[in-house]
Amino acid sequence: MIQFDSRYQRLSAARPAVAGTGLTAVDRIYADAHASPEEALGGSCGNVLLSLAMLGHPVFPVVNLGDDDHGRFLFDEFERAGCETRYVSIADTGSSPVIVQILDRASATHRFTSTCPHTSVHFPKWRSINHDHVYKAAETLKSVSVFYADRVSESIILAMEEAKGAGALVFFEPASADDPLFARAVRCATVIKLSDETAGKHIADDGLDPGTIVIRTHGARGLTVSNGKARRHFPASPAPQVVDTCGSGDMVTTGLLDLVLKRWRREGSWRFEDIFDGVAVGQRLAALNCAFAGARGLFQAAGAGQVREMLDRGVDEVCSAFVTTLESRSR
């Protein structure tokens, strides 16, 4: 266990905070074969942490970036969103990852590649944090309410264990179950979110701790939340308009954790019912986001303040109508 000064005080209970690590990359979006792509901070970890910061929550990314133009772009995006960037490492060696999205708006379909469509050069892969990053962030890991991870490494598991040991809700959203460390990471998780299209294909519920809350996403069929014998299916929320489904899962997670954090601030902790309620909010947020290009298209088109108002008022038909109007004007 990492040791630190016992005089250190936890972050104020009035401002429950989030720390997280995992895939943070530049999203380079080519829409309708346009020659000039748009770029944004992306990756599941990056999207979730950035969105929560834009919604007003204290957020501490613990990520490893390269000392290059892409790394500096990602660092600046975290800062602009209001994240605390003291644990964002800019390494002298290595480069930052780039994910290319090829989007066809007419058919609302997309594909991803790690190769530049112009030069055929392969972009760098994601790099994990190391133990030194975890040591530097130890006090914060002991103080946050939520810890998010979407990748696995020895150092990430160490961070998960530290946060969970201090009482944080550990949200694990793996893209793959292939890593030998996967089972150890699952044991750290309070909530594990699995997709039928990726890691969820290889993991049965009876292989998980019965105390773990499991969210299984089924694409257009919605998702299921289970905890022991408690199980509930949530049909997918209808989208007012479908332009791009990229980032839908990240929006579900964002809406869920936003609600958990808001209630934590009011009640001093979280409850199982918060996961049910948060999933429903996250699904509606994801449906609205489908009206725009990019994993955080709703935030970029409407602005963080408008999204915050939607979540506070309730993501209902009025908000859906607003988004439909906004999307039509942007064409």
Q: What would the DSSP string read from start to end of 63-118? A: EEEESSHHHHHHHHHHHHHT---TTEEEESSS---EEEEEEETTTTEEEEESB-TT
Residue 82 belongs to some domain of the structure: yes
Q: Which residues lie closer than 8 Å to 222 by C-beta, 6 or more apart?
A: 233, 234, 235, 236, 283
Given a cut of 80, whether residue 303 has pLDDT beyond it is yes
271-280 long-range contacts (CB < 8 A, ≥24 apart) are: 272/213, 272/227, 272/230, 275/191, 275/213, 275/215, 275/225, 276/225, 276/232, 279/215, 279/223, 279/225, 279/234, 279/252, 279/255, 280/234
Q: Cα–Cα distance between 246 and 293 in angstroms, integer?
A: 8
Given a cut of 80, whether residue 35 has pLDDT beyond it is no
Helix (H, G, I), strand (E, B) or coil at 174: coil
Q: Cα–Cα distance between 37 and 314 in angstroms, integer?
A: 34
Q: How many CB atoms lie within 10 A of CB 216?
A: 19
Whole-number pLDDT of residue 208: 73
* Bigger pLDDT: 330 vs 187: 187
Q: Are 168 and 189 in contact (CB under 8 A)?
A: no
Residue 34 belongs to some domain of the structure: yes
The CATH number that applies at residue 127 is: 3.40.1190.20
Residue 108 belongs to some domain of the structure: yes
Dump pLDDT digits (tens) for 304-326.
Answer: 999 999 999 887 655 666 666 66
DSSP letter (8 states) at residue 10: P
**CA-based max dimension of the chain:** 58
Residue 193 belongs to some domain of the structure: no
Given a cut of 50, whether residue 13 has pLDDT beyond it is no
Q: Are 251 and 223 in contact (CB under 8 A)?
A: no
Residue 22 belongs to some domain of the structure: yes
Residue 239 belongs to some domain of the structure: no
**Per-residue 3-state assignment (H helix, E strand, C coil) for 206-241:** HHCCCCCEEEEECHHHCEEEEECCEEEEECCCCCCC
Whole-number pLDDT of residue 33: 66
Q: Cα–Cα distance between 89 and 192 in angstroms, integer?
A: 26
Which span out of 183-192, 253-262, 269-278 was modeled with the highest average pLDDT? 253-262
Whole-number pLDDT of residue 323: 64
Residue 215 belongs to some domain of the structure: no
* Bigger pLDDT: 207 vs 154: 154
Average pLDDT over residues 42-47: 96
* Bigger pLDDT: 11 vs 294: 294
DSSP letter (8 states) at residue 291: T
Given a cut of 80, whether residue 10 has pLDDT beyond it is no
Dump pLDDT digits (tens) for 67-101.
Answer: 999 999 999 999 999 999 999 998 776 789 998 88
Q: Are 303 and 278 in contact (CB under 8 A)?
A: no
Given a cut of 80, whether residue 12 has pLDDT beyond it is no
Structure tokens at 27: 């999203």
* Bigger pLDDT: 112 vs 133: 133
* Bigger pLDDT: 189 vs 31: 189
Buried b (16+ CB within 10 A) or exposed e, 297-308: bbbebbebebbb
* Bigger pLDDT: 225 vs 247: 225
Whole-number pLDDT of residue 9: 36
Given a cut of 70, whether residue 11 has pLDDT beyond it is no
Instruction: Please give the distance of CA 143 from its chain centroid, rounded to a whole number.
Output: 20
Whole-number pLDDT of residue 201: 64
- Of 158, 328, 151, give the one whose Cα is nearest residue 243: 328
Whole-number pLDDT of residue 65: 94
Average pLDDT over the chain, rounded to an integer: 86
Task: Supply the range of the domain harboring residue 55.
Answer: 17-143
Structure tokens at 285: 């947020």
* Signed CA dihedral, 198, 203, 204, 210: sign only: negative
Residue 5 belongs to some domain of the structure: no
pLDDT level of residue 14 (50, 70, 90 thresholds): low
Q: Are 51 and 254 in contact (CB under 8 A)?
A: yes
pLDDT level of residue 114 (50, 70, 90 thresholds): confident
Whole-number pLDDT of residue 329: 59
* Bigger pLDDT: 60 vs 94: 60
Whole-number pLDDT of residue 204: 67
> How large a percentage of the chain has pLDDT more than 90?
56
Given a cut of 80, whether residue 202 has pLDDT beyond it is no
Domain count across the chain: 1
Average pLDDT over residues 214-242: 89
Whole-number pLDDT of residue 86: 96
Average pLDDT over residues 107-114: 78
Q: Are 215 and 195 in contact (CB under 8 A)?
A: no
Q: Cα–Cα distance between 56 and 78 in angstroms, integer?
A: 13
